[in-house]
Copies of this chain bind each other. A is one copy, B any other.
Amino acid sequence: VNFCSDNVTGAAPEILDAIVRDNAGPRMPYGTDDVTARVEARIAEVFERDCAVFLVATGTAANALALAVVTLPWGAVVLAAGTPPPHGVHGVQPAALSLTQATEAGTVYTPAKLAALAAAARERGLKVHMDGARFANAVAALGVAPADLSWRAGVDVLSFGASKNGALAAEAVVFFDLVQAETFAFRRKRAGHLFAKMRLLAVQMEAYLTDDLWLRLAGHANAMAERLAAGLARLPNAALVHPRESNQVFIDLPEAVISGLETAGFAFYRWGAADATQIRLVCAFDTRPEDVDGLIAEATRLSAA
């Protein structure tokens, strides 16, 4: 059973079906097709406002191209709130704050926390980017509107990911400021990220956003992570490294338990320093309760031994 990452999965059935259903018949290339247009409209609905939407296939592409728009070549991307003062032309200039939601520690920013960070950034003249590879997990966890975790909190541009939550390869770069978006189409093409058969990305994203599939998938992954965290945290000498708030569990366990789980065939990554006894367990849209329970049972057995 594989808890290494939410990127070891295939597609959610609804998304795979969409790819299959769309396959017959021609569609015009490079995003001039109907599905792409519908996806753009649908994302505007989801976020309750006009926005400029660009589909790409990888999160790296989404983040790098989005950040390129809001930072000039000598601009620095700041990853935390405490930004150094620029010192004239002799150094890089802080240009954008980039926040990851849900974070790499599996925690989530509340709307209030986000708004405070974004306000601090704006005061210093920075644009605000959100790496939303796991945006769905954050929205599902907090139960708030997507707008509350993005533009209403001060986010200028969002990398809205689907690949880690049931798509095979589909990410949307969503600009809430249409003026900022103006150069994106050129950047996407220049970087080789404009798909001839854009339909492949568009149908995945359309299915993802239909009937709240994206929130159901993320909600399931979050629930599985909670089940896992609750089951493991009860063990002696077990300690959560970060609060379990989305679909990732970071936990400190006795080395014998960790090694035993590996031997038993559970796949996951060790984390932290070389001599740490921490592991990361990631749940996905397709994680089965019985696999979660199986891991807990094995860990409990190992812990008692």
Chain A residues in contact with chain B, CB under 8 A? 2, 4-5, 7-11, 16, 19-20, 22-30, 56-65, 72-74, 89-90, 93, 163-164, 168-169, 183, 185-197, 199-200, 267
Q: Using A163-B196, A190-B74, A194-B60 as known contacts, say yes or no to A8 and B20 having CB atoms under 8 A apart.
A: no
Interface pair B11/A27, CB less than 8 Å apart: no
Residue of B56, B62, B168, B187 near A200 (CB, 8 A) is B168
Interface centre among A20, A24, A26, A59 (most CB of B within 10 A): A26
Interface pair B2/A26, CB less than 8 Å apart: yes
CA distance A194 to B185 in the complex (A): 20
Interface centre among A22, A29, A185 (most CB of B within 10 A): A29
Q: Using A168-B200, A186-B74, A194-B60 as known contacts, say yes or no to A28 and B16 having CB atoms under 8 A apart.
A: no
Which residues of chain B are within 8 angstroms of A164 by Cβ–Cβ distance?
196
- A12 CB to closest chain B CB, in angstroms? 9
Chain copies in the assembled complex: 4
- A205 CB to closest chain B CB, in angstroms? 14
Which residues of chain B are within 8 angstroms of A73 by Cβ–Cβ distance?
190
Interface centre among A22, A93, A196 (most CB of B within 10 A): A196
- A206 CB to closest chain B CB, in angstroms? 15
- Apart from A10-B197, A11-B23, A61-B191, list 20 A-B contacts with CB within 8 A: A4-B29, A8-B26, A8-B27, A10-B22, A16-B20, A19-B168, A30-B89, A57-B169, A57-B195, A58-B192, A58-B194, A60-B192, A63-B192, A64-B192, A72-B183, A163-B196, A163-B197, A169-B197, A191-B191, A191-B192
Which residues of chain B are within 8 angstroms of A60 by Cβ–Cβ distance?
189, 192, 194
Which residues of chain B are within 8 angstroms of A193 by Cβ–Cβ distance?
58, 61, 192-193
Interface pair B10/A29, CB less than 8 Å apart: no
